[in-house]
């Protein structure tokens, strides 16, 4: 079980996201108002809180959202979960669709903070069931109904 520490959005792609505290996750779309929302497999990005803490321990002063992540969650190492994992947070049901990503050469995040951990540590999901997620909510792994 994990705890949501930040819910981050941005109105443009390729920029740092801002912790807005809570957001509405629309089924088949992603976070309303976030630049990465859309009808594709990377509707929501997640990053484990301990990966950000490890980056901070190297001397970087980064806030939640600095790597373009939508959700920062403690209690999980998302990279260790397989694609297809279902994550429940209140009414919201997310399905992990991708682990890591290729970072483009003009990555604004890499330029601003010196490194980007999303290509190595971030995961992506699509929204199967919508609702609101806010800081402090509990997230848990749920079994697939077809398992």
On whether the CB atoms of residues 130 and 25 are closer than 8 A, the answer is yes
- 90 located within any domain: yes
Instruction: Report pLDDT digits (tens) over 26-58.
Output: 999 999 999 999 999 999 999 999 999 988 887
Check which CATH number belongs to the domain holding 43 and give it: 2.40.33.20
pTM of this prediction exceeds 0.75: yes
Domain presence at residue 48: yes
CA dist., res. 40 & res. 60, Å (int): 32
For residues 20 and 8, the answer to whether their CB atoms sit within 8 Å is yes
Distance CA 124, CA 126 (A): 7
- Would you list the DSSP string of 73-103? EES--GGGSPTT-EEEETTEEEEEEEE--PP
Is 66 contained in some domain? yes
Does any domain span residue 147?
Answer: no
- Domain region containing 59: 2-142
For the chain, how many structural domains are there in total? 1
10: pLDDT strictly greater than 90: yes
Maximum separation of any 2 CA atoms in the chain, in Å: 45
Question: Does 20 fall in a domain?
Answer: yes
Q: Is the pLDDT of residue 106 over 70?
A: no
């Amino acid at each position: 079980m994990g705890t949501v520490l930040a819910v981050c959005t941005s109105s443009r792609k390729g920029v740092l996201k801002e912790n807005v505290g809570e957001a509405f996750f629309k089924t088949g779309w992603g976070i309303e108002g976030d630049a990465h929302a859309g009808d594709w497999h990377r509707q929501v990005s997640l990053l484990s809180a301990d990966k950000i803490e490890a980056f901070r321990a190297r001397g970087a002063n980064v806030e939640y959202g600095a790597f373009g992540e939508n959700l920062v969650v403690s209690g999980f190492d998302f990279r260790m979960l397989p694609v297809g994992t279902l994550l429940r947070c209140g009414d919201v049901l997310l399905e992990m669709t991708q682990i890591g990503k290729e970072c483009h050469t003009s990555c604004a995040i890499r330029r601003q903070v010196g490194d980007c951990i999303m290509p190595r540590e971030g995961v992506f999901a699509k929204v199967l069931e919508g609702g609101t997620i806010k800081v402090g909510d509990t997230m848990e792994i749920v079994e697939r109904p077809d398992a």
